[in-house]
Structure 1
Amino acid sequence: MVRASAARIVQEGLTNVLKHAGPGARAEVDVAMRPDALTVEVRNGPGTSRPPDVLPSHGQGIAGMRERARAFGGHITAGPAEGGGWRLTASLPVPRESRSECRVAGRFA
């Protein structure tokens, strides 16, 4: 269940990059299993121009991700990244009995 929630948070984070960062923005995703939590981070740099008004935005993306993280006792931080762009980090506690489910880790760009 934690793994599925982490995947949805990454998906929504990447959707936000597409909606708000603009063309040419590079996105990176880091996934790490800490001793007691699964941590995911979605970062993007600035785009080369203003994002097109192609995808509708209802302003609920980060709020929805926070709610999803809180449901597992986790938390989200989101804000401007150094050098421009945006950084979203989610930490989701993983019960000891579920840790084998969350063995995926790495960096994806």
Structure 2
Amino acid sequence: GLSVDLTVTGPPRALPPGLELAAYRVVQEALTNTVKHASGATAAVAVDYGPQRLRVEVTDTGGRPSASAAAGSGRGLIGLRERLAVYDGILNTGRRLTGGYRVEALIPLETP
């Protein structure tokens, strides 16, 4: 029930399976948090295949917490940081000035 726009920039390329899974988990966790904490929001996912790094950003427009918001462990973003650290990646999160929330993962890629 969540409206999500997807934008992919840069030439997509094959990624190591673990790194691909880490990027997938970023999107999964961020969209799950949107459903839980921003009911009624819309979301956008941006994937940028840069020459030296993969950037994954998930933003939402904000909303109201759903009934399931209190059911989580609150450790999802911590787990993402730990998962990304394995690949020397970083996770930036926070409220957006225009409202809503932003989750951004920056993951270095090996150059071909």
Q: Is the 8 A contact 2:38 2:66 kept in 1?
A: no
- After superposition, what is the alpha-carbon deviation per residue over 1:3-23, rounded to whole angstroms, capped at 9, x for unaligned? 12101111111111111112x
Residue 50 (structure 2) aligned to one of 24, 34, 40 = 34
Report the CA distance between 1:54 and its aligned residue: 2.4
CA RMSD of aligned residues (A): 1.2
**Structure 1: runs of 5+ lacking an equivalent:** 98-109
The amino acid across from 1:46 in the alignment is: G
The amino acid across from 1:6 in the alignment is: A
1:65 corresponds in structure 2 to: 80
The amino acid across from 1:59 in the alignment is: G
Q: Secondary structure at the match of 2:67?
A: coil
Q: Secondary structure at the match of 1:9?
A: helix
Quick one: percent identity of the two aligned structures?
39
| Mapped partners of 2:102, 2:67: distance in 1 | 22
Report the CA distance between 1:46 and its aligned residue: 1.5
Q: Is the 8 A contact 1:2 1:94 kept in 2?
A: no
> What does residue range 76-87 of structure 1 map to in structure 2 within 5 Å?
76-87=91-102
**Structure 2: runs of 5+ lacking an equivalent:** 1-17
TM-score of the superposition, structure 2-length normalised? Answer: 0.78
TM-score of the superposition, structure 1-length normalised? Answer: 0.80
| Mapped partners of 1:75, 1:53: distance in 2 | 30
Report the CA distance between 1:96 and its aligned residue: 2.5
Q: How many residues align?
A: 94
